Amino acid sequence: MTGVVSRPRANLARAEAFRPRVAWDPAKRMFDVVAALALLVFFAPSLLLVAVLIRLESPGPVLFRQARGGLGGRPFTIYKFRSMRCEENGETVVQAARADDRITRVGRFIRKTSIDELPQLLNVLKGDMSLVGPRPHARAHDEHYGGLIPGYAQRYRARPGLTGLAQIQGLRGGTEDVESMARRVRADIAYIDTWSFAGDLRIMLLTAPHLLGAENAY
């Protein structure tokens, strides 16, 4: 009887050969963990203050949780500061609009400044997300746009990020039509296909000024 020889290292190498480097590069993952820990410590007082203000302004949990599409299309639970008076996680998700009356006063400020995204540093530590990558969409939006935009699923070849190439190109906020989403998807795919560690650093450096000057964040 011939035994079966298992070669996990060889099998892993073959598997990684079919995945872009951005999905498994050890230096990228190490940087994510170290930077996320440092940022959580640095922003701890601000995070605590925002949490208190949210609880004082309206009833409900401090954190908003929602299923999003991650690496390989696998769903994960994303964390954000709650900025609305209601939560949505069903088959139909209505995107926030300008002057949306669901958004609280605290919520409008933290959305405009993207402070509501900071709890996603916990997602980075867990390995669900990276600091830089395609922004994850609600599962309902994945289902909707996945059937309308060719190549949409290519976004799943990388861990989703807190920021990304699409965001520094001004492609953040609500998507009013399919073409708006298609432009974001093309930027996400371009990021994956041309990934480099230096490119990640550039995106992170450009994120802050783009957030401050963005008109489509609400």
pLDDT for position 95: 54
Please tell me the pTM assigned to this model: 0.83
Dist. CA 99–CA 61, nearest whole Å: 23
Query: How sure is the predictor about 172, in pLDDT bands with cuts at 50, 70 and 90?
Result: confident
pLDDT at 90 over 70: no
Distance CA 216, CA 48 (A): 27
Position 37 in a domain: yes
- pLDDT band for 94, please (50, 70, 90 cuts): low
Whole-number pLDDT of residue 10: 47
For residue 84, give the DSSP letter. Answer: B
Kind and range of the H or E run holding 208: helix 197-213
The 10s digit of each residue's pLDDT in 15-29 is: 445 689 999 999 999
Cα radius of gyration (the chain): 18
Residue 148 is assigned to a structural domain of this protein = yes
Does a structural domain hold residue 168? yes
pLDDT of residue 153: 95
pLDDT tier, 181 (very low <50, low <70, confident <90, very high otherwise): very high
The answer to whether the CB of 24 falls within 8 A of the CB of 16 is: yes
CB atoms within 10 A of CB 32: 23
Structurally, the chain folds into a number of domains equal to 1
Residues whose CB falls within 8 Å of the CB of residue 179, separated by 6 or more in sequence, listed in order: none
Q: Convert the pLDDT of each residue in 28-46 to its tens digit.
A: 999 999 999 999 999 999 9
> What are the phi and psi torsion angles at 103 (to 5°)?
-80, 130
For residue 2, the model assigns a pLDDT of 45
Query: Residue 5: which pLDDT band, with cuts at 50, 70 and 90?
Result: very low
Range scoring the smallest mean pLDDT among 2-11, 93-102, 174-183, 191-200: 2-11
Contact 118, 80 (CB under 8 A): no
d(CA 135, CA 211): 14
For residue 87, what pLDDT is reported? 52
Q: Model confidence over 103-161: pLDDT tens digits?
A: 899 999 999 889 999 999 999 999 999 999 999 999 999 999 999 999 999 999 999 99
Asked if residue 2 is part of any domain, the answer here is: no
Please give the backbone phi and psi of residue 200, each rounded to the nearest 5 degrees, phi first: -60, -45
- Is 170 domain-assigned? yes
Q: What is the pLDDT of residue 173?
A: 73
Give the type of residue at 200.
Answer: D
The mean predicted confidence, pLDDT, of the chain is 86
6 or 85, higher pLDDT: 85
Q: What is the DSSP letter of 98?
A: T
Domain boundaries, position 186 = 24-213
Distance, in Å, from the CA atom of 42 to the CA atom of 10, rounded to the nearest integer, reads 41
Cβ proximity of 167 and 210 under 8 Å: yes
pLDDT of 208 reads 84
State whether residue 62 is helix, strand or coil: coil
Confirm whether 9 is domain-assigned. no
Which DSSP state fits 194?
Answer: T
For residue 143, give the H/E element and its range: helix 139-146
Please report which confidence band the pLDDT of residue 174 belongs to, taking 50, 70 and 90 as the band edges. confident
